[in-house]
Structure 1
């Protein structure tokens, strides 16, 4: 662990740690006092959020093939999944295993908690399972026609599932498929607006497709040079930021948009976007790219913007994560580095860190 200090920068005092393997996920836990991170070889780490001190480490989970990590919104537990077909739930305080849940023989590659932290969805092959925070299985989808590519909770009961050519939204409480949206193509990413009205997907054909749930109308945004696997809505649901190129493309859903409008273009990175993350309480956007650069943007009303600040970590960012009060920021990398920067509110008051 090493400390960092950059004068006259949004990226203020902080620390970084060498994990040595590709960091697949990271998040805040235990009322933001700890940071949990996981690498692709199945090692899980807990750090003191202020100092970067390693508190504990668990080695070789999921038979050395971990695929995702998700901290429960209450911060006291976290879930992991991997190629061994299992979802494990652990205590964030010491990493102790609370439950190990076998979903099958395929890889479990996507997991996500509901906002209230009561349910966890996990995709395995052509199925999606839902368990509670104790590991009890509550629901399983019907077999889909193809492998599940992405999952996303619309609310605490509604779960959106993307696979080849379709998105299905299930009510897991009533076991009913509420809506089905079809598209001839491979859907590789999925995001829903905070109110659940807009369903957006990145597609294998270098486009972004979205549907409005109230009327079923759909639209397509084309022209991406690459696959937009990174798509994310801001807290208001007005802006949808997308990757698929070295520049961040931002679509504005205000009024009748984005149909017939020109998207915002955030230009700074020299290589394709690798991850995106909106702040929790504002429309500040963090972007990372394969050239190792990370930028924080303040958007204008059209979705354009200028970088407030930037930093290079000399490796590809794999995950960006804001602290829940937006006063600190995490970045993980493919070279096994984990960075944490403090962003004091007083430093950001003039640039939009407060709504």
Structure 2
């Protein structure tokens, strides 16, 4: 079956994480994504760095899987011309530089429209392409902090919590939806457009009721794992080294079942916990009681007992447990990919399933720098071997 975005081509000039995650998502839906870098300025995440317990480009491995790789030296005038040739055969161009950088290079929206009238240009930046703060640079922790999510994340007696990749990926997913909308509009009208995604606005869009409360003059504070109604509701220490279990109790019936399973004398009839409102009012004391019980049992045992009783509960899993999970493996949410050097590694697949839409997901591992130039420059652009060699000698393809 044909994949949803099969036939769509993306000229991918994005760097770091937010923009590349967007194009990574689109590539898993079938788009042909051509990542543009140079030996002089490779994507910073391609460089090995200590992260997630290993020395290597772990972040790049995730967001570059499935993509094709070519080199273009933007510092060379012919490099700009080559980039335009690539855009001319693409449906989408994507970038994540500071606003104005692409225009100064000669690759702004109007310049790209001149070579492809219906091009869709995705521009991902910290604060958008316009406005008084558009010149600000930014990384994921800034997006969450400036957008307000950081101030809501953490415990009431602690500082705001820095958010990293989850913020980048949320920006990328919002950008992917916007690109899909632009492609749908172009199919209906024949018109391309500039898609302007501001990362801090993505963060603010997730504040929801907190913004409404603040606008109404209400105090908005950090609440940790607490819920506005439910108790117990949190992550509790389980037996073992750094093992935890999440529990959420909504109804009085669920509470009575939990109290019975815990077997703590007098707990089921304790008036402090008799109703949902009472449990929430006395949630600190209730959390202490639940934590004493969970600490005596493996998280998997707590999970099994409570799930059987119809209570929402699960162990807090590590990344290693997730990659080995049979359920996620069966659904191809976690897949194995083979790298160019023959190494096989686990990768995160696309988190959706389509009854009609082909075998979506990751088809290949991380590309080597310039690995697909024979296909892109030779087959797609029709460049001869001699022409390509001349551009390499002149450090245009470099």
User: Does the TM-score normalized on the shorter chain lie above 0.5?
Assistant: no
Rg larger for: 2
Could you state the TM-score of these two structures normalised by the residue count of structure 1? 0.30
Query: Which one scores higher on RCO, CA 8 angstroms, separation ≥ 6?
Result: 2
Higher strand share: 1
Q: TM-score, normalised by structure 2?
A: 0.28
